[in-house]
Amino acid sequence: MHSFMNSKRNPTNLAERIIFPIAAAILGAASPAPAQQTATAALPALPALADAAARAVPGRDGWLFLPAEIRHLATAADAPALTGDNDPLPAIINFQQSLTAKGVRLVILPVPEKSLIRADQLFPPAAVAAAAGYAKASGRFIEALRQNGVDVMDVSPVLAAEVARAAAGGDPVYCKTDSHFTPRTTAVLARAIASHLREILPEVVRKSADGPLPGPPTQLTIQGDLAAPGTTEELAFQVVLKAVGATDPPAPDPDSPVILLGDSHCLIFHSGGDMLAKAGGLADHLGVELGSVPEVIAVRGSGATAARVNLYRKARKDPGFLTKKKVIIWCFAAREFTQSDGWKIVPLP
């Protein structure tokens, strides 16, 4: 059993220390717009980032965290004034308006910070509840986007609820030595996305008995992107198969009304190679829930601008491309709100 699955932990206590405080921070009083955000009191200290070149920030029990994510959390207490291409709001709002003009819905899914969802592995036990206050780092942007009519899925409560299962020997929700979520979490998020789509666009959810389905459970050995060479981690994994009795996975459906747009969270466990596995990522599990695998337009780096540039190029090459689409799920790391390489306005052809 992995060291992070400590059987002596009490799941109820873990829920009290992580789920309830995070939910309260997310669902509580509306946060002010970014320009109005003031410093937050009583936040526990973040780990020091002494080495600017460090690949990872060490947590407890061998857990590793991304330095850029720690820098993002720090903005909860000291929010910088974001202007020009550093401000995500104009680019996201413009993108939604452009899509709306073409009859396409936009759903934003900022992937919650590993260091918040697994705060129990970064902060001392007595500080975990107070660490939920760092949710304001992303929460202020989520609130501002919603105030401007953007549909934002905040899945932090969904993932925080999964942490209690980890305490009882379940899936750890995020990889211990990688910056991404686990394969099982891709299935959890796929179900959450499908549930949301049933509410806003039920016609795009076409799940059927003869569609894609999860294959048998297996174990996957990875070397995470935060780990030192030679350090490995074991994860539960399920490849998605295209139908009952099939042995091969489904391909993305070019006629799907759904596009999955974003960063490496859309590619991890989906595209193979440095993305660790094939046919078991978010797009694949969306195929299970929606009836077909959506088209994937994603990049390995920042999902703030580059993915939209690729969408622009595809739509320009094929003028009818967006006419077949009903909704774009834009999935990117929440830290991108303050740590991206720039939020440029990208027109649609």
For residue 181, the 8-state DSSP code is B
Helix (H) or strand (E) holding 330: strand 327-333
Quote the pLDDT of residue 80: 84
Q: Give 141-146's long-range contacts (Cβ < 8 A, gap of 24+).
A: 141/34, 141/88, 141/89, 141/110, 141/337, 142/110, 143/30, 143/31, 143/32, 143/33, 144/31, 144/33, 144/34, 144/89, 145/89, 145/92, 145/93, 145/108
Quote the pLDDT of residue 133: 97
Q: For the chain, state the CA radius of gyration.
A: 20
- Read out DSSP for 256-306? -SEEEEESGGGTTTTB-GGG--BS-SHHHHHHHHHSSPPEEEE-SS-SSSH
CA distance 236 to 343: 35
CB count within 10 Å of CB 207 equals 15
Is 60 in a helix, a strand, or coil?
Answer: coil
Quote the pLDDT of residue 50: 75
Quote the pLDDT of residue 164: 84
Q: 97-106: b or e for each residue (b if 16 or more CB lie within 10 Å)? A: ebbeeeebbb
Cβ contacts of residue 160 below 8 Å, gap of 6+?
18, 19, 22, 23, 117
68 token code pair: 């850029």
Q: Map tokens 């991206």 to a residue.
A: 340
- Please choose, from the candidates 115, 139, 118, the residue with its C-alpha nearest in 3D space to the C-alpha of residue 49: 115
Cα angle value 72/75/79 (rounded, 5°): 140
- Please choose, from the candidates 168, 161, 170, the residue with its C-alpha nearest in 3D space to the C-alpha of residue 191: 161
Contact, 22 vs 118, CB < 8 A?
Answer: no
pLDDT along the chain (349 residues), means of 10: 32 46 45 41 87 90 96 93 94 98 98 97 96 97 98 96 84 97 98 98 94 97 96 97 94 96 98 96 98 97 95 97 97 97 95
Cβ contacts of residue 12 below 8 Å, gap of 6+?
164
Quote the pLDDT of residue 22: 54
Q: E-assigned strands of 175-230?
A: 213-214, 218-222
CA distance 123 to 117: 11
User: What is Dmax (Cα atoms) for the chain?
Assistant: 58
Three-state DSSP string of 232-267: CEEEEECCEECCCCCCCCCCCCCCCCEEEEECHHHC
Contact, 265 vs 181, CB < 8 A?
Answer: yes
